[in-house]
């Protein structure tokens, strides 16, 4: 088995592939609306602190587990310790839960691409446009399925090269466009107030839910706590500096998220004030950006380019999620690739339909008081990922000891300046925080604390 394993061409290939997986709807759609909801600057401060300590340690830990064991997630944990085989299966469940609703949102992005390409950008800026689209029946379903089929085609072909090449060109373009739009946003009268809200932390907005939301976002955005980075790590060559890679992935991922928020948060602030920020929710990107594009010179063209790039970022991520599921099922059940892809797509359609219809036809069914999409998002990010992360920390910190992983990281004689942070994080701080989060969310479910 081991000698057959493929590997990334080099450091750049790995960083790009990992960044392609990491940078997606999480950065462009999820981060801004969470930042808006959870007090702007204070959320960002908490997020950055967590990224540098918690995110860094967890990402490094997962990639190292992969490279050390040379196994994908389903068997990697077992190789570290026989008793932890079950962790591979729990981690495997997370992408299976995420892919369906991710494709539903990907479908929304696709819809907006079509809107702008047919020159109807002005329509998209109407207040009811987004709401009436997602509460429909056939439209959200059809766009969801098309997005899923696009993902499936790439995974079926296994065109790694194509994705890698396209990421190399399109990711920088995305960055330029985002920077361009955020400069424009600055010129909107009143936007500076919004920028201040976005950047300056107001400590009175701080609460436990800020930390919980930031942590869930960190998992989602960096694609950690679901085995994907373990599998990626198993393809990394032995002479590559893992710390260097993790730094680059983190910087890129966080930069895109921050910039995306830079566009969205100030604009919402201008048009609907602080109240609008708190209530915007999942629709924020789809409702506010069209308003900006409407008044912008060449707004329709820029809107079209923007949504295509978002679509692309979403696709590289959904491909990585599907690829993770497919390779796990193939490894485990020894099935052919196309059979596995079809099975995965079937499961995704079944699990995705409730999310696609959750704002219309199925709007009355609210598990735990949430619409289906929010429910799946909650279940994966706030419940399953903390559980996977907690068990991984226990495995590495207490069962096989951090030294095993530290040795993997430094085996090329590399300096590991954040070693102490890493150790304390994995053994104490991360597990305590994760348990606190899980307890907090459970209490919140029963209405015992305010969420």
> Which distant-in-sequence residues (6+ apart) come within 8 Å of 58 by Cβ?
222, 224, 225, 389, 392, 393, 430
Smallest distance from ligand PHE to CB 328, Å: 13
Smallest distance from ligand PHE to CB 406, Å: 26
Backbone angles phi, psi at 159, to 5 degrees: -80, 65
Q: Of 216 and 360, which has the nearer Cβ to ligand PHE?
A: 216
Whether 180 and 350 have beta carbons less than 8 Å apart is answered as: no
DSSP code per residue over 78-110: HHH-GGGHHHHHHHHHHHHHHHHHHHHHHHHHH
29: tokens are 């759609």
Gap between the Cα atoms of 308 and 91, Å rounded = 31
Q: Of 95 and 290, which has the nearer Cβ to ligand PHE?
A: 95
Gap between the Cα atoms of 31 and 26, Å rounded = 6
Q: Of 96 and 267, which has the nearer Cβ to ligand PHE?
A: 96
Please tell me what DSSP assigns to residue 371.
-
Surface-to-core class of residue 403, CB atoms within 10 Å of its CB (0-12 exposed, 13-18 middle, 19+ buried): exposed
Gap between the Cα atoms of 256 and 31, Å rounded = 10
Q: Of 300 and 320, which has the nearer Cβ to ligand PHE?
A: 320
Q: Of 25 and 270, which has the nearer Cβ to ligand PHE?
A: 25
The residues of the shown chain that bind ligand PHE, judged by CB under 6 A, are 21-22, 24-27, 95, 98, 220-221, 223, 226, 228, 317, 320-321
399: tokens are 């069962």
Residue 6 region by backbone torsions, left for phi larger than 0, else alpha for psi between -120 and 50, else beta: beta
Q: Of 24 and 41, which has the nearer Cβ to ligand PHE?
A: 24
Gap between the Cα atoms of 36 and 48, Å rounded = 16
Q: Of 50 and 291, which has the nearer Cβ to ligand PHE?
A: 50
Instruction: Report which secondary-structure segment, H or E, holds 448.
Output: none
Smallest distance from ligand PHE to CB 94, Å: 8
Q: Of 381 and 402, which has the nearer Cβ to ligand PHE?
A: 381
Helix (H, G, I), strand (E, B) or coil at 5: coil
Helix (H, G, I), strand (E, B) or coil at 128: coil
Q: Of 21 and 64, which has the nearer Cβ to ligand PHE?
A: 21
Count of CB atoms within 10 A of residue 142's CB?
A: 15
Whether 36 and 264 have beta carbons less than 8 Å apart is answered as: yes
């Amino acid at each position: 088995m081991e000698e057959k394993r493929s590997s990334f061409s080099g450091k750049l290939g790995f960083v790009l592939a990992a960044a392609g997986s990491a940078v997606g709807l999480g950065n462009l759609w999820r981060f801004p609306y969470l930042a808006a909801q959870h007090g702007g600057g204070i959320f960002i401060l908490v997020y950055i602190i967590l990224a540098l300590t918690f995110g860094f340690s967890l990402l490094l830990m997962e990639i190292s587990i992969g490279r050390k064991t040379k196994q994908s997630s389903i068997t990697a944990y077992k190789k570290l310790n026989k008793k932890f085989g079950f962790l591979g299966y729990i981690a495997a469940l997370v992408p299976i839960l995420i892919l369906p609703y991710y494709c539903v949102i990907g479908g929304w992005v696709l819809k907006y691409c079509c809107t702008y390409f047919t020159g109807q950008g002005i329509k998209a800026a109407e207040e009811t446009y987004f709401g009436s689209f997602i509460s429909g029946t056939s439209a959200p379903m059809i766009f969801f399925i098309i997005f899923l089929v696009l993902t499936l085609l790439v995974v079926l072909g296994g065109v790694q090269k194509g994705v890698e090449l396209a990421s190399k060109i399109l990711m920088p373009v995305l960055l330029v466009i985002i920077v361009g739009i955020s400069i424009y946003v600055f010129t909107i009268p009143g936007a500076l107030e919004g920028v201040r809200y976005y950047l300056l932390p107001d400590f009175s907005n701080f609460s436990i839910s800020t930390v919980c939301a930031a942590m869930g976002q960190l998992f989602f955005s960096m694609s950690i706590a679901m085995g994907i980075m373990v599998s990626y790590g198993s393809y990394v060559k032995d002479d590559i500096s893992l710390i260097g890679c993790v730094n680059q992935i983190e910087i890129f991922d966080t930069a895109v998220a921050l910039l995306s928020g830079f566009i969205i948060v100030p604009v919402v602030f201008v048009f609907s004030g602080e109240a609008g920020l708190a209530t915007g929710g999942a629709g924020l990107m789809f409702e506010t950006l069209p308003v900006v594009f409407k008044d912008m010179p060449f707004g329709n063209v820029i809107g079209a380019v923007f949504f295509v790039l978002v679509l692309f970022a979403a696709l590289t991520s959904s491909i990585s999620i599907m690829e993770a599921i497919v390779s796990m099922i193939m490894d485990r059940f020894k099935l052919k690739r196309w059979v596995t892809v079809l099975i995965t797509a079937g499961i995704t359609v079944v699990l995705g339909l409730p999310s696609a219809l959750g704002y219309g036809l199925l709007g009355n069914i609210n598990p735990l008081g949430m619409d289906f999409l929010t429910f799946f998002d909650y279940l994966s990010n706030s419940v399953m990922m903390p559980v996977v992360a907690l068990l991984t920390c226990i495995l590495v910190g207490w069962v096989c000891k951090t030294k095993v992983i530290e040795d993997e990281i430094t085996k090329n004689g590399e300096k590991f300046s954040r070693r102490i942070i890493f150790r304390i994080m994995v053994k104490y701080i991360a597990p305590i925080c994760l348990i606190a989060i899980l307890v907090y969310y459970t209490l919140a479910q029963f209405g015992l604390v305010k969420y």
